Amino acid sequence: MPGQRTRLKRGGLFGLIGSLLMLAGCATHHNGAASAGIPDEGDFRVDRDLRFSPSDWPEALFADLYLPTGQVSQRRYPVVLMVHGGGWQRRSREDMAWIAEEVASRGFAVLNIDYRFAPEHTFPAQLHDLQLARQWLNRHAGEYHLDPNRVSGFGFSSGAHLIALMALVASSDSDLNQPHGGPETRLNAVVTGGLPSDLMAFGSGKLIRQFLGGKQQEIPETYRKASPISHVTANAPPFFLFHGAMDMLVPFSQAERFREALEEHQVCSELYEMHLRGHVTSFLTAGDAVDQAIGFLARQHEG
């Protein structure tokens, strides 16, 4: 049964917030390509609650797989690995369902995943979960007509942190590739919203302390290794960043500094600055940013 897109049906308070912010006007797309390359909409189906973790994994992990329909069956679909936020310790993949629907309606397959939560599971457990999901895509590519050579990532907040970290680690020689990462977990492009790129800049706040298992002064190397900005190399994939200019939880400077690091290594990037948005509102009103991100991903997968 084709999926039903819900972005325009959330209504209520969320719709009011969106309307007010649209009137207040909007965003600056740094080095963007306008609306070029955004694919037309189409139908999709959803295979829910697919287990991607092995039977001996500490926790059973599941995902929803969104698949375009009504196209030539021989075609292999580009894939987007999608990761929700929640401070590494709460929320669910359902938060990302409306974005998954938008992306799937534009011809991408989407794997929207679970991961283990802190404080019960500390870093790098969550990174290992993402690496497992990426390996699952490789193993099941033929079954679902997926292209394992065209896989991108999309995450928000802590999910943005995890997908950025996995992509950057896979494109480097970091020991975080062991035992579940490596070249087969590489991504072709990454979209991040509200990205905490440098965990060292946050001190030892409760969420980060529980995620990493200690205070920064106790485990400074862990804080460094868990920071995506520490793993940027010239081999990094292209990044599309969207971020609220008034984000008090993850300051906009986190996106700016990360993009500067990418530019220093001559890595392609775009920054979509969302004016008058904080952390939560940049997610609730992310429709235009998502459209631009889909265009960005389509351009990375051309040819």
Q: What is the pLDDT of residue 31?
A: 78
Has residue 52 got a pLDDT over 60?
Answer: yes
SS3 of 6, please? coil
Question: How far apart, in whole angstroms, are the C-alpha atoms of residue 149 and residue 170?
Answer: 14
Residue 79 main-chain phi, psi, to 5 deg: -120, 145
Q: What is the pLDDT of residue 64?
A: 98
User: pLDDT tens for residues 85-94?
Assistant: 999 999 999 9
Query: Per-domain residue ranges for the chain?
Result: 27-300
User: pLDDT tens for residues 263-286?
Assistant: 999 999 999 999 999 999 999 999
User: pLDDT tens for residues 139-174?
Assistant: 999 999 999 999 999 999 999 999 999 999 999 999
Mean pLDDT, the chain, as a whole number? 91
Question: How far apart, in whole angstroms, are the C-alpha atoms of residue 159 and residue 93?
Answer: 10
Closest by alpha carbon to 212, among 198, 222, 201, 203? 222
Q: What is the pLDDT of residue 147?
A: 97
Closest by alpha carbon to 292, among 37, 66, 21? 37
SS3 of 64, please? strand
pTM of the predicted structure, to 2 decimals: 0.91
- CA angle, residues 217, 219, 223, in degrees to nearest 5: 95
Question: How far apart, in whole angstroms, are the C-alpha atoms of residue 241 and residue 18?
Answer: 20
Question: How far apart, in whole angstroms, are the C-alpha atoms of residue 288 and residue 283?
Answer: 11
> Order of strands across the sheet with 190-193?
27-30, 269-274, 239-244, 190-193, 146-156, 77-83, 109-113, 62-68, 44-51
SS3 of 109, please? strand
Q: What is the pLDDT of residue 41?
A: 83
Residue 286 main-chain phi, psi, to 5 deg: -85, 10
**Is 27-300 assigned to CATH 3.30.470.10?**
no
- CA angle, residues 274, 242, 40, in degrees to nearest 5: 100
SS3 of 181, please? coil
Confidence band of 23 (pLDDT split at 50, 70, 90) = very low
